[in-house]
Structures are given as structure tokens and as C-alpha cells.
Amino acid sequence: MGSILGSGSEIFTFEELHFFDHVLPSVSSSGKLSRSEAMALAAQLCSIQASDWLTPQDPKLFAQEAQAIALSADDEPIAPARLFENFLNFKSQQHHKVIPCEQTPQNVFHIKELLELYPNCRIINMVRDPRDVLLSQKYKWRIRFLGASNIPLFETFRAWSNYHSTIISLLWNLAIQAAACFKDHPRVKTVRFEDLVLDPESVTKNVCEFAGVTFSPQMLNVSQGEGGVSSHKKISSSARGIDPSVVSKWEKGGLLNSEVHICQSITHKNMVEHGYLSAPITRLNKCLSVSLFILLPFKLSLALLLNLNRVGNLRETVKKRFSARRHA
């Protein structure tokens, strides 16, 4: 969705910046930034955007841009959220666009905050079949070996440790529930990934109308793989357009039937809510799913340990995940 919107003439789509879930917890806790703190934060954001948030460039390389972003503020000191807005607008204008699109998935847990901080923002909440999410996350660790050599080995190991069918299914539920109480909000729109892929023109036109931008057919001529790889295969740089084969890919293999059973058992209610049908599972595979729980304590402990540096204040992060769905 980010690529599609960014292919138009008005919207600039950013890298995943992880501002609210990763960057913000590490900045000043006083509520306001001094000029030097604002410049440091702006330089950090520029360094992420220039590469990605896993392997950002040296923030010192962006001192001039950071100064321009910090000086664009009307007031000093400045709130971090306002500095972030200035950064988004500055970089969008650099690319001759007028609307920034920030696509960090974890923003789903900050919908209430975003709506309050940015009165003109529009939020597009993307939903995908949890079994395809499971499949993608299961093999995410392979991306480095399929061509994305910029991904550190530590991140490869972290991606492997993060996967367990129970963990991913619970996280999918939390994300769905976090957005559910905003389903009738006029500035929040939920779009199923499958609907976008199978009927890209009408869905994109509908999204453009919601966002207040002009649809053009060129929006659909996007690259099929960011960085040239997916969790399953290398993708040719010449491969463009919307690939319908990514829908229900889990049905073609890659998941154990016991993993599918665990996923469906945990996410059933939310799957039904979003129109996903459960697959039949044999009694044997239901019994075999019990064996997967043997690894759960190990994988959960390892995942928590390897993600400590990504979530800032762990207590506040967990609280945010479980409380987001209660805020309307």
C-alpha cells in the first residue's frame, strides 16, 4: 500500500521509521527538546530514512539537513512529535511531494495518539490473513541469504527467534484488536491485503478518495519486492505490478498443519470478523500441535532478550500493546 500511494504525484512514502515504538522512548523525557536535542533527533531520523532502521547511516552525515529541520520550528523548545512532523514534511518536499506516508506496522498501537497529535492525518490499517502472516514471519530469517546482505547476522537470528506460531498469532490478535475500536472513525480505514491484491484498481481508488489524493493508473505499476527479495524467493528488479499469487500462499505449503491449527484456534474470532475461513484440521494434527508448545518458553524468552533494545521501556511497551484496543 505504501508503494502504491508513493507511486502517485502527491504522496512520499517513507521507510519504516519506528518513531513512536523505538525512537521516541529514547529521547528527552521532559516533553520538550532543546535545539541541540531537536537537531540530534532530526539527524537520527534522516539516517534511518537514508538506509533503514536496522542499519542506519551515521547521523553526523545529516547535520545540515537536521539543522534545517530543527530551525523550521516556530517555537523552541519543541515537542518530539512536532519535530517528527517537521521532518516528514521536509523530506516530502525534498522529493517534490506534499503528503508524507509513514508505514511502520507498529503504528497500529498508536492510533489514538496519532489522531490526537495530527488532526489532519489519515490512517490506513492493513489486515492480512494471519496464516500468510505466519508463513512470512516463519521464513523472514532467510531474507539475508536470498540477497539482502545488508541485514546483519544478529537481525537474522533475531527474526528466527521471534517466530513461533503462538507468538505471531497472539501479536496478530493484538494488532487487530488495537484497530478494532477505531473501525467507525472517519479518519481510519481498514483494508484487507487480499482485496487490494485481487482488485487493486477499485481498492486503490477507494483509498485515494479516503486520503484526498488523485488516483492514477501508474500507482499500480509498483515493484513486486522491496529490496529485491521476500522471505521466500529472490525477485527480479524488473518484476512490476500486483502479484495475485501472494494471496493464500500458506495453502501451497510452508506451514505445518499443527501451526495452522494453533493460529486458527487463537485468531478464530478475529478471522471471522475479517472474512477469513478456517481450514479443516485432522485430530492427529491437533494433537501434534501440543508438541509445538514445548519450544514456546524457550523462543519467548529468547525473543524478549533479543528485542530489549528495540522496545525502549519494556513495561510501557507491553502496557501499550494490551491497552491500545481499549482506547477509543
Find which of 62-76, 229-243, 244-258, 314-328 is predicted with most confidence, using mean pLDDT. Answer: 244-258
Beta-bridge partners for 33: 78
Could you write out the three-class secondary structure of the chain? Answer: CHHHHHCCCCEEECCCCCHHHHHHHHCCCCCCECHHHHHHHHHHHHHHHHCCCCCCCCHHHHHHHHHHHHHCCCCCCECHHHHHHHHHHHHHHHCCCCEEECCCHHHHHHHHHHHHHCCCCCEEEEECCHHHHHHHHHCHHHHHHHCCCCCCHHHHHHHHHHCCHHHHHHHHHHHHHHHHCCCCCCCEEEEEHHHHHHCHHHHHHHHHHHHCCCCCHHHHCCECCHHHECCCCECCCCCECCCHHHCCHHHHCCCCHHHHHHHHHHHHHHHHHCCCCCCCCCHHHHHHHHHHCCCHHHHHHHHHHHCHHHCCCHHHHHHHHHHHHHCC
Grid cell at residue 32? 520538550
pLDDT band at 316 (very low <50, low <70, confident <90, very high): low
**Which CATH number is associated with domain 121-326?**
3.40.50
Q: Is 228 left (phi over 0), alpha (psi -120 to 50) or beta?
A: left
Q: How many CB atoms lie within 10 A of CB 237?
A: 10
Per-residue pLDDT reduced to its tens digit, 98-157 = 999 999 999 999 999 999 999 999 999 999 999 999 999 999 888 877 766 677 787 888
Average pLDDT score over residue span 286-291? 83
Per-residue pLDDT reduced to its tens digit, 251-281 = 999 999 999 999 999 999 999 999 999 999 9
Residue 307 has what pLDDT?
74
Grid cell at residue 318? 507491553
Residue 143 has what pLDDT?
81
Kindly tell me if the per-residue pLDDT of 306 is higher than 80. no
Which of 77, 81, 83 shows the shortest CA–CA distance to 115?
A: 81
Grid cell at residue 11? 504522496
Q: Which of the two residues, 74 and 214, has the higher pLDDT score?
A: 214
pLDDT band at 236 (very low <50, low <70, confident <90, very high): low
Question: What are the φ/ψ torsions at residue 192 (nearest 5 degrees)?
Answer: -80, 135
Domain(s) of CATH 3.40.50: residues in the chain: 121-326
The CA-atom distances, in angstroms, between 162 and each of 18, 137, 179, 306, 307 are 18, 8, 23, 9, 9
pLDDT band at 223 (very low <50, low <70, confident <90, very high): confident
When mean pLDDT is compared across 43-47, 74-78, 129-133, 157-161, the lowest value belongs to 74-78
> Average pLDDT, whole number, for the chain?
87
